[in-house]
Amino acid sequence: MCHINKYIWYKVFKQNTSAEQKPLDNVTVFIKDFVGVEAVTWGSDKINVSAVFLRDYPGPMDLKWEFTSLMNHEMTHVFQWNGEGPCTFGRRDRRLHGSES
């Protein structure tokens, strides 16, 4: 995760110093039985991953690739903030998927 975290901070967000980055000591990941979404970020430092999604993942990539991609996506949500607190949900997803509106 260290390489992923650095990529998100330095390349995606262009936050090169700890003063620019969201203060965060750790992230807790839970793998739980639920349906509806692959994963959800909640609070400021928690990620729930769907065990049902992982169990039933059909491909086309292997499960390790899919889980890594999922964690990249969710860690990006964890690191997003406005300098005073987390960004609003809608803004987070629009920025993550390339739209600034």
- The whole-number pLDDT of residue 3 equals 87
Tokens standing for 26?
């750790």
């987070």: which residue's tokens? 92
Tell me how many domains the chain contains: 1
- The whole-number pLDDT of residue 86 equals 58
* 71 close to 64: Cβ distance less than 8 angstroms: no
pTM for the model stands at 0.78
- The whole-number pLDDT of residue 100 equals 43
For residue 35, the enclosing domain spans 25-83
29, 35, 40, 43 alpha-carbon torsion, rounded to 10°: -80
In a domain? residue 8? no
The burial class, CB within 10 Å (0-12 / 13-18 / 19+), for 9 is buried
- The whole-number pLDDT of residue 61 equals 86
pLDDT averaged over 10-residue windows placed end to end, the chain, 101 residues? 89 91 93 94 93 92 92 93 61 45 40
